[in-house]
Amino acid sequence: MRSLSGASLTGVAMLTLGIVAASGCAKVGQLQAMKNFKAANQAYQQQDYKKSAGLYEDTVAADPNLSQAYFFLGNSYDNLYKPSKKGEAANDQLLTKAVENYQKAADKLTASADPKDKALAKLSLQYLVAAYGPEKLNDPVKAEPVLQNMIREDPGDPAVYFQLAKLYEDAGVYEEAERILIAAKTNRPADPSVYTTLAGYYNRQGHFDKTIEALEERASKEPNNPEAFHTIAVYYWDEAYRDFKLKEAEKRAFVQKGVEAVDRALQIKADYMEALVYKNLLLRLEANMEKDHDKAMALVKQADQLRDKAEELRKKKAAGVTS
């Protein structure tokens, strides 16, 4: 019994020593990881990405739970990648490693309660999407679920909706692009960018009526913002000036609506230089369509006055003079 008891105690002691040793090794590993991480960060800040990549690799090898290191490891590889050398195995491998580590960073950091970790997780996903972009891996199929997941995680960030919509638009999936942009508007109805982005999409698709509808909806939510009305005027001028398929009556109507919009902008801000420039341009279009010579000359004279006033404001601004 004595020898059995002795053997048992010896076993317990050995087990305890093993646990202490493992704990000690873990602490040593963590200390080494932090030392490597500090050195890696210095190399990263100096843009020595080859050195920082090696040190970040050493960091995660010593402590795989140092989650922040995965982002910087991925970004080091990303910075080492050269688009001009696309197709070369060693160069392409850098991008593969960047993607792997961005994904690891996102997976590990998303679960953290620390706001800084969550922000870095989001940044990791943004860089991951960029790595799947046309200038790098050109793999929209893999970018799509990343963006969809980002929207689920933060439905209030319109920039991610815009990225996903652009991905669909570039792929020719226009109904999905429109759906995503409308979802952005629904989730952020007070954000002017959701309306201007939707308007830009409609304009590229040749849906001028929907373009104006989106811009007017934006203006209705910002009735005291002159830029909102100026933007409407710019779109009307551009359509009237560039669309040669317009009938004269349509062109006249667009010019008139453009003038109304720019007048609204100038009512809010009389010294709005850009609005003065576009009212000048709109009046010149109107003058070109005017059959009555005297009326046409009167419109040109008014346009000249607006142009001169805008130029005067530009010079004052350049000289640092405030009214």
Instruction: For residue 320, name the pLDDT band (cuts at 50, 70, 90).
Output: confident
Query: Could you read off the pLDDT of 83-128 as tens digits, one per residue?
Result: 999 999 999 999 999 999 999 999 999 988 899 999 999 999 999 9
193, part of any domain: no
Query: Which amino acid is residue 308, in one-letter code?
Result: D
Q: Which residues contact 290 (CB under 8 A, 6 or more apart)?
A: 296, 299
49, part of any domain: no
Does residue 248 carry a pLDDT above 50?
yes
Helix (H, G, I), strand (E, B) or coil at 135: coil
DSSP letter string, 244-263: TTS-HHHHHHHHHHHHHHHH
Contact call for residues 67 and 108 (beta carbons, < 8 A): yes
Domain count, the chain: 1
Does residue 29 carry a pLDDT above 90?
no
249, part of any domain: yes
Does residue 9 carry a pLDDT above 80?
no
Q: Which domain holds residue 296?
A: 223-318
User: Of 7-11, 39-43, 171-175, which gets the smallest average pLDDT?
Assistant: 7-11
145, part of any domain: no
Distance CA 297, CA 313 (A): 24
Nearest to 299 by CA among 239, 252, 243: 252
Q: Tokens for 306?
A: 């607006």
Instruction: For residue 3, name the pLDDT band (cuts at 50, 70, 90).
Output: very low
Instruction: For residue 28, name the pLDDT band (cuts at 50, 70, 90).
Output: low
Nearest to 201 by CA among 226, 227, 173, 236: 173
pLDDT of residue 5: 34
Does residue 283 carry a pLDDT above 50?
yes
Instruction: For residue 322, name the pLDDT band (cuts at 50, 70, 90).
Output: low
183, part of any domain: no
301, part of any domain: yes
73, part of any domain: no
92, part of any domain: no
Nearest to 165 by CA among 205, 213, 137, 136: 205
Sign of the Cα pseudo-torsion (295, 300, 301, 307, in order) = positive
DSSP letter string, 257-323: HHHHHHHHHHHH-TT-HHHHHHHHHHHHHHHHH--SHHHHHHHHHHHHHHHHHHHHHHHHHHHT---
Give the pTM: 0.81
Q: Report percent pLDDT > 90 for the chain.
A: 85
DSSP letter string, 137-159: T--HHHHHHHHHHHHHH-TT-HH
